[in-house]
Every structure is written in C-alpha cells, then in structure tokens.
A and B are shown apart, each in its own frame.
Chain A
C-alpha cells in the first residue's frame, strides 16, 4: 500500500500536478462566472448591438473545439495584449504568467456556457417577486440588487454545477500548452518507469475523486439554496 501511494517516486509531482488542475479549475470558475454575468447582461440588454456581441461570443466558443480555443487563446491573448499596449508604452514587454493565462482562457471559454445558465436563471425569477418589490416602491436598481440578483442564484446553481463538472475536466488540456498538470506528470512518470497505464489510471482516478466530491458539494449547496422553498408532498 505504501509502495502504491508513493507511485514509484512520482507521488509528489502527481500531487502537485493535480493541485494545479484544481487551482486552475477554481480560478477559471471565478473568471467564467464573471464572463458569464457579462455575457448574460449583453444578451439581456435592450440594445441590438450588445445582443449581437453576446451572440458572437457564445456562438464562437460553442462552435469551436476547446482544444483549438485553448491553443489559439493561450498563445494569442498575450500576443494581442502586447500589440494593443505597444503604441502606448514604448518598449514595454508584458509577461504573462502561464498559469494565469490558462485560468483566463478556460474561464473565457466556460464563461460562454455560464452565459446561458445565468441568463436562464435571471429570467426564472418569478415575476411576482419583482412586482412585489416594485409595489414596495423600490427603484429598478434596488429591485435588481435586493430581489432579482439574490434570487437568481437558486436557479443558476444546478447549471453552475454542470459547468464546473465539465470545466474541471477541461483543465486536463492545459498539459497540451506545456503546463505541468497531473496529465503532464503522469505522462512523464509512465514514460520513465515504463508503466504508462498505471500512471494514466492514477490521473483518471484523481479526476474521478474530484467529480465525486464536487457532486456531493453541489448537492449540499442545492439543498441549502432550496431551504426557503416550500415543498409539495406527493
């Protein structure tokens, strides 16, 4: 058992790699929620131009494989930022942290999926709640911050959970752009010890563990978010 846990001396690297997957995933979730809110705002806005911008964002991301998006954006975003900044600050070189770039790119991709989740959740808040807020004399802004926004999360939670489950698995793709995540290290370990199956299996098990834990946490969070809702008994 002890031998098995050490994984042929690569235990520490694999653990560090897995930690990278989890931190990139967690960071990307925050970025995705931010972009998702932005995307939902674009799609819900009364302006046709902003609607169109939202449409382009989600269509491009959903119509192109994430592998292609990750490679293009991972190398493209720093270059684009460089090009934009150059005319303003002479000779300045922007250095992009690889992990931060990966977080940004995965967040950008899953932000498009979050857009639909948050847009749907926003529209799911019962009309009566908003009318009641109005009847109390709340302004549009007050209605939004005090009634609409707090209630939409209950509807968004299942969708956010789904996006997270896909997002965390997508972090395995960062090994393609050279980040030393668990897939990178299990490849290395498998090659040098000539046991590729064992190490890829370990990587798969690690992801299974995270999806298992995530499922539990999401179920708990959903139950908690429903605590104020009356349930019908069959």
Chain B
C-alpha cells in the first residue's frame, strides 16, 4: 500500500465523500417529506389517493435505480425541444439535479412502503382512543399515528437510509463526481486500481457505520420511554445491525 498516494488523493476523496453525504442528506430529507403523504395516501379509503400512491411505489420499487437514473438523465434528452419550450431544460440538463430528483423519488417510494406498513401496525386501540377523545383525522394522524409509526418503522428506515447512501454510488454513472467516481478517476490516472477501490470501500463502510450509529442514537431518543438499561452498548448494536 502506497501511503503517499493515499495521502495525496485524500483531498479529492474527501470532496467526493462530501458529495455523497450531500446527495444522501438531501434525498433522505426530501424523500421522507414525500414518503409520509405517500404512505398515508396508500392507506386511504379513497381510490383516487390510494391508486396513484400504490402505482408510484410499485413503479419505483419494481425497476432498478440505475435504469431510473438513465431514463431521466440520458432519456429525457430525447425531448430536449419540448423541455426547452416549457423552460425546464436547465433542470434536466444538470446531472446533479437529475440524480437528486431520481434519488428523492426512489427513496420516497421505499420509505413510503416502510411507513405504510408501520402505520398499519399502530395498535388499533390507540386510534380508537384518539377517536374517543374527539380528535379529527389530522390531529389523530399527527399526535397518535405518526409518532408511533415512526418508532415501529425506524429500524427498517435505518436500513433504507444506509442502502440509499450506498446507492448514490450509481450516480457516478451519470457523470456526478461523488466518492466512487472520485476514486475511480484517481485509480485510472495512477493505475493503482485495487488500492483506490479498497480505500473507497473502507470509506463507504465507515459512512454506513456512521449512519447506523446516528440513527441508533435517534432510535434511543424515540424509545426513551423504555428502560435503557436493557439495551446493549450503541457501538455493539450498530455493528450488529451492519452485519445482519
């Protein structure tokens, strides 16, 4: 292992890692905001809410993320004139914006499905109690259903965020310079392919662990009404989740 090469390439790799974290953070936040209405819509008794939400989840979960990325970034170029006439070409011309759009929609679909299950898993007695207190649908959802669904869905959601972070490596294939593409560029230039790839793999491992650690902390906070003494150490738990 050539240490000079590693130290020399660190600034570029860290830049790439920052891009990976940026893509992850934006898609996680906006994806979550989108996922909750999608989850509620899919559980709605009204078919005009339920069907579009179900279709959205089905389409994005049923096709590979890579194809979704290619479809939007390379595919929409076919309709350049139309998009220009609508004045939205500046958006679809930019790889980062396209990548973010696809990542947000993709994670919204997966997260929506996770929280659909979680919302359905909230004990019916809780909802009946809310109704008995005369709460409106909105108040029930906000104060009873969503907080409890968040607790139920959190472990699965943690998994989704880790895989989303890893999936951002795919946007390197639509020319966005994130962690993997940064490493790849150095690997090709210096012919140190395996050193660079192993380094980048280690960096992904560290970021994955970091996400699980932070989400574990949040989970502890969400579960603060439970006795903390029964929980194992948070590092041990994070490692257990990562190895599962």
By a beta-carbon cutoff of 8 Å, the part of chain A in contact with chain B is 55, 58-60, 62-69, 71-72, 75-76, 116, 169-170, 172-173, 176, 183, 187, 190, 194-198, 200-201, 203-204, 207-208, 211-212
User: What distance in Å separates the Cβ of A47 from its nearest Cβ neighbour in chain B?
Assistant: 16
* Interchain CB contact under 8 A, B243 and A55: yes
* Interchain CB contact under 8 A, A204 and B68: yes
* B51 within 8 A of partner (CB): no
* A59 with B71, Cβ < 8 A, contacts A68-B180, A198-B78, A211-B62 known: no
Q: List 9 A-B contacts (CB under 8 A).
A: A62-B208, A64-B208, A65-B166, A65-B170, A68-B197, A116-B244, A196-B70, A196-B77, A203-B67
Which A residues are CB-close (under 8 A) to B169?
Answer: 65, 67-68
By a beta-carbon cutoff of 8 Å, the part of chain B in contact with chain A is 58-59, 61-68, 70-71, 74-79, 162, 166-167, 169-170, 172-173, 180, 193-194, 197-198, 200-201, 204-205, 208-209, 239, 242-244
Sample of 12 more A-B contacts, CB < 8 Å, known A64-B204, A190-B75, A197-B79: A62-B242, A64-B205, A67-B173, A69-B201, A172-B67, A183-B64, A194-B78, A196-B74, A196-B78, A197-B77, A207-B63, A208-B58
* A204 with B201, Cβ < 8 A, contacts A65-B167, A67-B170 known: no
Interface of chain A, main secondary structure: helix
Q: How far is the CA of A67 from the CA of B208 in the complex (A)?
A: 15
Which A residues are CB-close (under 8 A) to B58?
Answer: 208
Interface of chain B, main secondary structure: helix
Closest to A214 in B: B62
User: What distance in Å separates the Cβ of B199 from its nearest Cβ neighbour in chain A?
Assistant: 11
* Interchain CB contact under 8 A, A172 and B64: yes
> Which residue of B63, B242, B243 is within 8 Å of A204 (Cβ)?
B63
User: What distance in Å separates the Cβ of B80 from its nearest Cβ neighbour in chain A?
Assistant: 11
* Interchain CB contact under 8 A, A207 and B197: no
> Which residue of A63, A72, A169, A187 is within 8 Å of B70 (Cβ)?
A187
* Interchain CB contact under 8 A, B239 and A204: no
Q: How far is the CA of A135 from the CA of B158 in the complex (A)?
A: 43
* Interchain CB contact under 8 A, B208 and A63: yes
Q: How far is the CA of A55 from the CA of B67 in the complex (A)?
A: 32
Which B residues are CB-close (under 8 A) to A59?
Answer: 205, 239, 242-243
User: What distance in Å separates the Cβ of B22 from its nearest Cβ neighbour in chain A?
Assistant: 16
Q: How far is the CA of A53 from the CA of B231 in the complex (A)?
A: 25
Which B residues are CB-close (under 8 A) to A55?
Answer: 243
> Which residue of B59, B76, B77 is within 8 Å of A208 (Cβ)?
B59
Which B residues are CB-close (under 8 A) to A201?
Answer: 71, 75
* Interchain CB contact under 8 A, B180 and A200: no
Closest to A113 in B: B244
